[in-house]
Amino acid sequence: MNLAEERYARFALVREMIETARVVRGLDLRAIEAFGRYLPGRRRAFLTGEGSSRIFPGKLACSNALKFGLRAPVLTEAATQAREYDLRDATVFVASNSGRTKEAVGLIRALRSKGHRAIVGVVANGGTPVDRESDARYLLSCGPENAVAATKSVVEQALFYDLLLRTRHRRPMPDLDRLAEALQAAMEAPVPEATARVLSSAETIYWAGRNNGVAEELTLKTNEIARKRSDFLEGTYAVHGIEEVMRTGDALVVVDPFPEEEEKLHEVVEAGAGLPVFALGGRASRFPGIPTADCGDFTPYVQLVAGWNLLVEIGLRLGIDVDRPERARKVGNELKG
């Protein structure tokens, strides 16, 4: 993506993606650190939201908590199912850019009816139901998004959780300028011609990778941006039965493939099912694809935006108006009244 070229710059989606680097540079660490008081001791953190407001932000936080051995549990689930859970000893973080997501407001009201008083709203719009009905709120600094697909807000939501948990557990904080530079570079890097050509013609694009939100969020973005069928294959699921329904004309993108599983992926998916396999991010692998910079614990953010770059390229090759899907809405299920 290159804003100097009209074919990219005319889309709000692309402009909002590129703004992500500015949002990261401008994050107020002290403001985020202040929310540490809502997670005293070993109190659980429960992160909820719908679609992009939960997939990457929530699952990356859960993955990091396990990876770093954090003592206090970090959990995530969609808001309607969460109403069935006992969350009395959890601080519930409710992410909703609009602040009017019906499922999010429903959970807040259900918790309130049970006397729950530890709810933090994570919103882009103040004065909305999620904002007003939470005990505290983090107002996103990213500003409004005009494109239907959420992008810069997803990264800020994820970093809010990430930095909050790091503050609480005294984990190293990132160099935000360095991270912003890596994000910018990943979004502006040229997409290899062969990769873009094959994926543009694919009927279904499968995404495989760790359950840290990256591949799953890119699965959703494939629907919204490239308008293609897509499926998320967690971990090594790609070699555990799904190959039965893979067809010539489909493709698989693996985010940072596990080195020890590459040969099996080749055997089952490439040689067995006849699909081209590409790698996104991580070290050099046997599969062609898109390399990304190593930013340590923050590499998943770079992988995510590299995936955006790839999907925009596919969408534009197909002549798609990436700002305006035919059916998808900015607020998937908006509270009425």
- Are 221 and 82 in a shared domain? no
Task: Give the whole-number percent of the chain exceeding pLDDT 70.
Answer: 99
Asked if pLDDT for residue 147 goes beyond 70, the answer is yes
- Are 201 and 222 in a shared domain? yes
Question: What does the pLDDT average to over 288-311?
Answer: 96
The CA distance from 38 to 136, in Å, is 9
In the listed set 156, 174, 192, which residue is the last one of a domain according to the structure?
174
User: What residues make up the domain containing 222?
Assistant: 178-317
Predicted pLDDT of residue 301: 98
CA proximity to 151, closest of 328, 306, 305: 305
- Are 143 and 183 in a shared domain? no
Predicted pLDDT of residue 282: 75
Asked if pLDDT for residue 335 goes beyond 80, the answer is no
pLDDT tier for residue 304 given thresholds of 50, 70 and 90: very high
Residues with Cβ within 8 Å of residue 250, at least 6 apart in sequence:
202, 203, 204, 205, 206, 273, 275
Mean pLDDT value across the chain: 94
**Helix or strand holding residue 44 (H, E):** strand 44-48
Asked if pLDDT for residue 97 goes beyond 70, the answer is yes
Is 322 within the bounds of a domain?
A: no
Question: What does the pLDDT average to over 105-110?
Answer: 97
- Are 116 and 198 in a shared domain? no
pLDDT tier for residue 307 given thresholds of 50, 70 and 90: very high
Phi/psi of residue 118, each to 5°? Answer: -140, 70
- Are 50 and 126 in a shared domain? yes
Residue 7's CB is within 10 A of a number of other CB atoms, namely 10
Predicted pLDDT of residue 65: 95
Report the CATH number that the domain containing residue 137 is assigned in CATH.
3.40.50.10490
The pLDDT tens digits of the residues spanning 179-237 come to 999 999 999 999 999 999 999 999 999 999 999 999 999 999 999 999 999 999 999 99
